[in-house]
Chains A and B, each alone.
Chain A
Amino acid sequence: MDWFYIQGILMLAGINLIAVLGLSLLTGFTGLFSFGHAGFMAIGAYLGALMTVSPTTSPAGLGLPFAVGVIAGGAGAGIVSYFIGRITLNLKGDYFCIATLGFGEAIRLILNNVQLFGGSRGWPGVPYKSTLPAIIIVDILAVIFLANLVRSRHGRNMIAVREEELAAQIAGVNVFKYKMIALVVSAVYAGVAGVFFGHYMTFIQPKMFSMTKSTELTIIVIFGGLGSISGSVLGALLLTALPEILRAFEIWRLVFYGAAVILIMISRPKGLMGGMELTPAGIRKARNERKARVQALKESKNSQNGEVGVG
């Protein structure tokens, strides 16, 4: 295996990770499942391409720097998500999930049928701008932003919405607002991921952003463990690399991929990390929780024995 090949896998994993981190906030921390985030990636990818593609190719772009493309892609996806959220965030659980599914497919079909950006034939000539260092820097910034958001009153309010929506409301949490923040942040992440994806493939096509892509992102979040950023990072790295590692199995590759995911979910139903973080503070917290549980068990046993003794 040469470095170029490994680098390619790492870049794809890094790009997936950007989208997965955003989805982790929405699904893992706020408790809303989405099957349409490939739609936000598509918006990012196409807006990004519109900015950077040279004006001389067809379909023509604006020929602006890559950074402009990244900002436009992220912002565009965020703005669209705000309007989608206004309509759908009042829907309960499963209905929101179905609405996102519809949104994702709608975006894909629109891009397929509108010829402006090449329609279903796709858009060639996107400049190759995604580099491994750039992706790693964005990943690190994305992790820091997310980790700091989650460990604040805003993040705790989102977790409260996931845990018990009615109780969160009664505790003074503006549930709609926090669902909206989670949705918009996750869409911005997906949009930025889309821009990097387009500028890695140098060619974009609506087919790349199908429901399969959305499902893949959600699977990674669940696989890594809901409510764990380290889980999302591990999940994105492992599940992007896994199909490549399984190349030896040729046509059976995806069967093995599916089997591997199922096996891990059976042995660790709460995902790889199960809500725990792989940081010194996260490990300390998990240890304290275990200690408290053991102590509580001991106490309840003692009091039961005591009662029997008295009786």
Chain B
Amino acid sequence: MADILEIRRLTKRFGGLAAVNDVSFSIPEGGIFGLIGPNGAGKTTIFNLVTGVYSLTEGDVRFRGKSVIGLPPFKIADMGITRTFQNIRLFKNLTVFENVLTACHLGASYSILDSVLRLPKFRKEEKALVEKAERLLSIMGLTERRDLVANNLPYGMQRRLEIVRALALDPKLLLLDEPAAGMNPDETEQLMRLISRIRDEFRLSVLVIEHHMDLIMGICERIVVLNFGIKLAEGCPADISKDPKVIEAYLGATEEA
């Protein structure tokens, strides 16, 4: 299968500090890919580089064969890459429904004049957007909370809503930044099933940053390990969990007695 995302020799320096240093890996289409590493390893920086929030120092990021370097985040989103945030960033004062409806906007093309004069094009496309938002909410089990203001949602639901909002863009590649942070084992289990289901139902590829090893080992087909901005290892979960370098990075070097 073709690679959906290709990261080549990616480097990002903040002043003298290389947050990401010469990292390369590729994500195959339809895969669930894990990105792990200790705190400060550069995982979120990679997300910020891929989505255009930061500009990179060196290297190349290619999405479906096209370079995304230098494109603003909203164009990259339009191409089909979207993400969630480690610290949830919902439109807090809007309802669950409005959060999703807002993100559906790329599916419509009516102009400001169309909306001000309420022309037929506006009515037709707006109806389609509302239907799409409602369909997404019902697939993801949020219909009952439709009118709840996002800020008042329970924590786990906020994470879920952020994923739904991302799906509203019809992405081809979904980047999840610690989706299970702060979740109990039950919720994590549910989330794992959700991620696999999304991948199959929406036909997309997933790159997930996570500290919950159960989740990473449970759903990822391949894993990249970062430490201090450098790629430490790459492989399938079974190999990674046995890799001495990875164990050392997480637990510290074993002392020779």
Contacts and interface: CB of A to CB of B under 8 A. Distances in A.
Contact of A293 (B110, B115, B149): B149
B127 interface: no
B16 interface: no
Given A169-B73, A171-B82, A171-B103, A153 B108 contact: yes
Contacts of B83: 170
Nearest to B53: A166
A92 B92 CA distance: 20
B106 A152 contact: no
B148 interface: yes
A159 B94 contact: yes
A148 B126 CA distance: 12
B1 interface: no
A154 B115 contact: yes
B101 interface: yes
A173 B92 contact: no
B91 A292 contact: no
A286 to B, nearest CB: 10
B89 A164 contact: yes
Given A156-B105, A289-B148, A293-B149, A172 B78 contact: yes
A292 B92 CA distance: 15
B16 to A, nearest CB: 25
Contacts of B154: 296, 300
17 contacts: A152-B122, A153-B126, A160-B102, A163-B91, A164-B91, A164-B92, A167-B89, A169-B72, A170-B77, A170-B83, A170-B166, A171-B77, A227-B93, A288-B147, A289-B149, A292-B147, A292-B152
Contact of B77 (A172, A227, A292): A172
A289 B98 CA distance: 12
A275 interface: yes
Given A163-B92, A163-B94, A293 B105 contact: no
B44 interface: no
Nearest to B112: A154
Interface in A164-200: 164, 166-175, 181
Contacts of B94: 159, 163
Contacts of A86: none
A3 interface: no
B102 A293 contact: no
A149 interface: yes
A291 interface: yes
B51 interface: yes
A145 interface: yes
Given A174-B72, A291-B147, 4 more contacts: A148-B115, A152-B115, A288-B147, A292-B149
B77 A156 contact: no
B225 interface: no
B129 A153 contact: yes
A169 B90 contact: no
Interface string B72-96: 1110011000110100011111110
Contacts of A170: 51, 53, 73, 77, 82-83, 166
Contact of B89 (A144, A152, A166): A166
B61 to A, nearest CB: 16
A144 B117 CA distance: 9
Contact of B101 (A144, A156, A169, A289): A156
A172 B122 contact: no
A173 B116 CA distance: 19
A79 B78 CA distance: 29
Contacts of B72: 169, 174
A172 B74 contact: yes
A88 B229 CA distance: 35
Nearest to B117: A148
B147 A173 contact: no
Contacts of A293: 148-149, 152
Contact of B91 (A160, A275, A300): A160
Contact of B148 (A160, A171, A285, A296): A296
A205 interface: no
A175 B145 CA distance: 28
Contact of A173 (B93, B101, B105, B145): B105
B165 interface: yes
Contact of B106 (A160, A168, A172): A172
Interface string B126-170: 100100000000000000011111001110000000000110110
Interface in A274-297: 275, 285, 288-289, 291-293, 296
A157 interface: yes
B124 interface: no
A166 to B, nearest CB: 6
- Which of B92, B116, B122 gathers most chain A CB within 10 Å? B116
Contacts of B91: 159-160, 163-164, 167-168
A152 B82 CA distance: 23
B93 A163 contact: yes
Contacts of A171: 77, 82, 102-103, 105, 165-166, 168-169
B197 interface: no
Nearest to A161: B91
